Structure 1
Amino acid sequence: MIVTFDAELWLWEARRNESWTFVSLPAEASEDIREITAGLERGFGSLRVRARIGVSTWKTSIFPDSKRGSYVLPIKRAIRTAQSLEPGDTTSVEVELIDL
């Protein structure tokens, strides 16, 4: 399953000083992912993905966020730097579930 969407980068409130930056997957796509992956989650409900922003591709995990009602994707500093992104910027994101 591949999900492509535009999203705004945001900082996780509990770790603002450590610059944990995320994007939220769309609610509808998150619901589809929950249905497809029921029982396949790893620690903290995480799911392994391959992500792409611009020319940067990396493997990571998405995590359920009960506050937002969707999965969230961490955007590591190296990716933000390579793509010249800061919290508050909107970017196109591609997420592919792996290990299905």
Structure 2
Amino acid sequence: MDLEFSGEVWSWRGPAPYHFISVPDDECAVIESTAAMVSYGWGMIPVAVRIGDTDWTTSLWPKDGRYIVPLKDRVRQAEAIELGDTVTVRLSVDV
């Protein structure tokens, strides 16, 4: 399953700061319909992600009934992404 959406980069400033992009509601509903088949526990969904020219693998995190995409520092640096930027995300979920 391949999805594409745009979202704003936000951060969580816990003990180890992370940057994320929230998956929109419509795409969350599509992902949720296959979650039981692809989740490896705790609701985590393994995905391949592309922003700009940068590809990587990660897992979607469940949060408040939705999913969020963790944005690695190396990706932010490679694509010159700053906090608050809106980026286009391409997700591939192996169903």
Task: Provide the TM-score with structure 1 as the length reference.
Answer: 0.87
Alpha-carbon deviation of 1:43?
A: 2.6
Name whichever structure is richer in strand by fraction: 2
Residue in 1 that maps onto 2:92 = 96
d(CA) in 1 for partners of 2:36, 2:42: 14
Regions of 4+ moved over 6 Å: none
d(CA) in 1 for partners of 2:76, 2:85: 10
CA RMSD of aligned residues (A): 1.4
Alpha-carbon deviation of 1:39?
A: 4.9
AA aligned to 1:32 is: V
Residue in 2 that maps onto 1:72 = 68
Structure 2: tracts of 5 or more residues without a match: none
Aligned residues: 95
Secondary structure at the counterpart of residue 45 of structure 1: coil
Residue in 1 that maps onto 2:78 = 82
Residue in 1 that maps onto 2:60 = 62
Q: State which of 50, 53, 61 in structure 1 corresponds to 2:51.
A: 53
